[in-house]
Amino acid sequence: AAANGIVSGFGDGTFRPNAPATRAQAAVMLCGYAKLAGRDTTQRADLSAYADAAEIPSWALAEMQWANAAQLIRGRSDTILAPNAGTTRAEMAKILSTFIGK
């Protein structure tokens, strides 16, 4: 995954495979895989309706915009995106099911 640009690890050079992936991290990994698979990842959603949009890490903004536009990662409510919250198993199952179905 690292050799193909899907994951890059943390700033200190480590990977943390046992740590929960945040929703922003999931968006980055999924977008990286989508690019590798030749999918169009240029869609961008306007995330300004989410009260916590400013909490999206800069390194994940384009990927969160893409994942939201592609209806892969939706808000936990109409106003909360929760980009830094852990991705639950149920969320990841839904994300992957939607991704595979596209």
58 contacts: CB under 8 Å, gap ≥ 6? none
Position 8 pLDDT exceeds 90:
no
Instruction: Tell me which of 44 and 14 has the higher pLDDT.
Output: 44
Query: What is the model's pLDDT at position 46?
Result: 98
Task: Domain of residue 39: give its range.
Answer: 23-101
70 contacts: CB under 8 Å, gap ≥ 6? 43, 98, 99, 102
Query: What is the model's pLDDT at position 22?
Result: 93
Query: Is the residue at 97 inside a domain?
Result: yes
Q: What is the domain count for the chain?
A: 1
Query: Is the residue at 2 inside a domain?
Result: no
User: CA 26 to CA 5: how far, in whole Å?
Assistant: 14
Query: What is the model's pLDDT at position 18?
Result: 74
Query: Is the residue at 14 inside a domain?
Result: no
Q: In angstroms, what CA-CA distances link 9 with 5, 19, 25, 48, 60?
A: 10, 12, 10, 28, 13
pLDDT in tens, 48-80: 999 999 999 999 999 999 999 999 999 999 999
Return the percentage of the chain with pLDDT > 70, whole number.
Answer: 83
34 contacts: CB under 8 Å, gap ≥ 6? 41, 66, 99
Query: Is the residue at 8 inside a domain?
Result: no
Position 83 pLDDT exceeds 90:
yes
Per the CB < 8 A criterion, the answer to whether 72 and 30 are in contact is yes
User: CA 61 to CA 98: how far, in whole Å?
Assistant: 20
Lookup: tokens for 79: 């106003």
Task: State pTM to two decimals.
Answer: 0.84
